Amino acid sequence: AKIRRYKWEVKYEYKSPDCVKKLVITINGRTPGPTIVAEQNDTIIVELKNRLLTENVAIHWHGIRQIGTPWFDGTEGVTQCPILPGETFTYEFVVDRPGTYLYHAHYGMQREAGLYGSIRVSSKEPEPFAYDYDKSIILNDWYHKSTYEQAAGLSSVPFQWVGEPQSLLLNGKGRFNCSLLTTPSTNVASVCNATNPECSPYTLIVIPGKTYRLRISSLTALSALSFQIESHNMTVVEADGHYVEPFVVQNLFIYSGETYSVLIKADQDPSRNYWATTNVVSRNATTPPGQAIKARKGFIVPPPPTAERMIVFLNTQNTVNGQYRWSVNNVSFNLPHTPYLIALKDNLLHAFDQTPPPNGYDFKNYNIYNVATNTNVTTSSGIYRLQFNSTVDIILQNANTMTVNNSETHPWHLHGHDFWVLGYGEGKFDIYNDPKKFNLVNPIMKNTVPVHKYGWTAFRFQADNPGAWAFHCHIESHFYMGMGVVFAEGIEKLGALPSAIKGCVHR
């Protein structure tokens, strides 16, 4: 295995990803940042220098389990203190499995400012499919308002929603129609320039007859996307780092935090160009292909047949002192200042609420089709402590938002683990009957899974990775508004924490 070293400088710069000039966060002058290309079992060392001048930073390696290095998960408030302006912090971890992964800021809403990129880990073993070329395509949505304006709106009374994005980006490039910029006093030409090369579309030049593996991932702030290539079918072969039974699609539906590999064959008329496009799928879109995905024969890791614990997470929208919040079992999550990993290891009991949040909700009486009546839920920094090595079932239960007859899809992402997706359903999860229908034969493993409108999603995982791990909705504004929880397990198994993560803790 190799050691791969990167030196990154993170700073604000003016860029025009969709032809509109905006302050964005770059890594070595680029957004998205450089793609990390490695082989299974390589060690990645990223020496990160924070040149944001007045802003902290932390970078999360999305999909990398950080076995033995929970302190390098990059989640501010959970696994590390933030990296202060001017500071350098070195991440060091092993990419132990082949697959398609991501990295992105995990501090405030910085991901949306452009601080993200792809990780591609090649396999040491022969793969169950063949291709000639391997490319990464990262999808994102893009707002013209700064993350600060957005965060301020979200925390205001009355609430100001961030709204739909202005553009969609494919490998950091999009195209906003400059004539739609209407701010009267601005000189439009200086802000929006359709001929700026920074927004010229990403082009993939293909050789006729060759097969391409495209690693498609989404890091949208909000949108659920569909991706397609004109006149070409795509064969899905991998999801979140796991091989799947191949299936063919024309449109790939993808939620924020998910990754897929598709194979395409350049077998159409070579004298013309084909557009690869992405678009927002209505948040009313029905059944995504995710439900049909099965683990690839020969690569199935069977789930344990039973679980020791089941936690049901009711997803609701509520208010707290007039502010709009998202909550889980009527608790809206607050990130503490002292990272949980440090607080747990060093027994700093004052650092977070010691009362664990609830294991479920009142499923007999609660009507998921109504606006929640509890308009003043509690906020808490309490966590779920899991028995080390135990098997845990999580049921995500969706419900109505604060708007009558409205429910939203939430893509939930688990740090530090993969999980088996055991089932999906509509309406209220039936604790007695639905588990009988779980797929225990060939469930796909993932790290991000959607829970659909008024539906439920069930998954199982093994709490076998000592550390403190975030589990949250990957919609940037939803996590900011409290849609997350933290699991902790096996803390006693950990050796001394590196002092580099402890900058904000004073005793």
By CB under 6 A, name the binding residues for ligand C2O.
60, 62, 75, 104, 106, 257, 413, 415, 470, 472, 474
Partner whose footprint covers residue 173, from Cu ion, ligand C2O, none (CB < 5 to 8 Å by kind) = none
Of 65, 296, 410, 446, the residue at the interface with Cu ion (CB under 5 A) is 410
Q: Residue 274, by phi and psi: left (phi above 0), alpha (psi -120 to 50) or beta?
A: beta
CB nearer ligand C2O, residue 423 or residue 482: 482
Burial of 181 (0-12, 13-18, 19+ CB in 10 A): middle
Partner whose footprint covers residue 15, from ligand C2O, Cu ion, none (CB < 5 to 8 Å by kind) = none
Of 342, 475, 481, 485, the residue at the interface with Cu ion (CB under 5 A) is 475
Partner whose footprint covers residue 473, from ligand C2O, Cu ion, none (CB < 5 to 8 Å by kind) = Cu ion
In the complex, what is the shortest distance from the CB of residue 109 to ligand C2O, in angstroms, rounded to a whole number?
12
DSSP characters for 121-182? EE-SSPPSS--SEEEEEEEEEE-SS-HHHHHHHHTSSS-----S-SEEEETTB----GGG--
State the Cα–Cα distance between residues 81 and 100, nearest whole angstrom.
27
Furthest C-alpha separation in the chain = 68
Among 13-21, 422-430, 464-472, 478-486, the segment contacting Cu ion (CB under 5 A): 478-486
CB nearer Cu ion, residue 111 or residue 478: 478
Partner whose footprint covers residue 413, from Cu ion, ligand C2O, none (CB < 5 to 8 Å by kind) = ligand C2O
Residues listed for the chain: 507
* DSSP classification of residue 424: E
Taking Cα atoms as reference points, which of 335, 357, 203 lies closest to residue 273? Answer: 203
Q: Do 48 and 83 touch, CB atoms closer than 8 A?
A: yes
CB nearer ligand C2O, residue 42 or residue 240: 240
Residues 415-474 that bind Cu ion (CB under 5 A): 473
Partner whose footprint covers residue 51, from ligand C2O, Cu ion, none (CB < 5 to 8 Å by kind) = none
State the Cα–Cα distance between residues 25 and 21, nearest whole angstrom.
13
Per DSSP, which regions of 17-76 are E strands?
22-27, 36-39, 42-50, 59-62
CB nearer ligand C2O, residue 215 or residue 474: 474
CB nearer Cu ion, residue 264 or residue 475: 475
In the complex, what is the shortest distance from the CB of residue 141 to Cu ion, in angstroms, rounded to a whole number?
14
State the Cα–Cα distance between residues 261 and 100, nearest whole angstrom.
7
Partner whose footprint covers residue 150, from ligand C2O, Cu ion, none (CB < 5 to 8 Å by kind) = none
CB nearer Cu ion, residue 25 or residue 475: 475
In the complex, what is the shortest distance from the CB of residue 63 to ligand C2O, in angstroms, rounded to a whole number?
8
In the complex, what is the shortest distance from the CB of residue 54 to Cu ion, in angstroms, rounded to a whole number?
29
CB nearer Cu ion, residue 110 or residue 327: 327
Partner whose footprint covers residue 478, from ligand C2O, Cu ion, none (CB < 5 to 8 Å by kind) = Cu ion
DSSP characters for 269-313? -TTS---EEEEEPPTT----GGGG-BBPTTS--PPPSS-SEEEEE
Partner whose footprint covers residue 472, from ligand C2O, Cu ion, none (CB < 5 to 8 Å by kind) = ligand C2O
In the complex, what is the shortest distance from the CB of residue 364 to ligand C2O, in angstroms, rounded to a whole number?
33
Residue 247: what are its φ and ψ, rounded to 5°?
-145, 150
Residue with tokens 């024309």: 250
In the complex, what is the shortest distance from the CB of residue 389 to ligand C2O, in angstroms, rounded to a whole number?
23
CB nearer ligand C2O, residue 368 or residue 488: 488
Residue 485: what are its φ and ψ, rounded to 5°?
-145, 175
* Residues near Cu ion, by CB under 5 A: 410, 473, 475, 478
